[in-house]
Amino acid sequence: MKAAGKTLYATWGTVLTLAGAAGAFVMFLQPWRSCPEIDDSSAGCPATGSDIGLLGVAVLVLMVGIVLLTLSVSFKRGQVASNDARPFGKFT
């Protein structure tokens, strides 16, 4: 694989991993929710169906980012065949 492809996978993997982790963290904490009858903190409020769906999307984005990062690391560099290798100092 070309270096540009590895860089592309690594960049998108990093962006998606960070976005998914931040989104999952925010969806888990639910800072916009308030339910004083149950608990004073927003973390004690029960989640709605749409909150759970958004949390699932954030976790899915996180997993796609991790897969892209893994792919960018796992690609091997191109190997030079032994008959193409020349003595050190002669690159042409």
DSSP per residue, the chain:
--HHHHHHHHHHHHHHHHHHHHHHHHHHH-TT--BTTTBSSGGGSPP-HHHHHHHHHHHHHHHHHHHHHHHHHHPPPPPPPTTT---TT---
pLDDT tens readout for residues 46-59: 778 888 899 999 99
pLDDT tens readout for residues 24-77: 999 888 887 777 777 666 666 777 888 889 999 999 999 999 999 998 888 766
Whole-prediction pTM value? Answer: 0.70
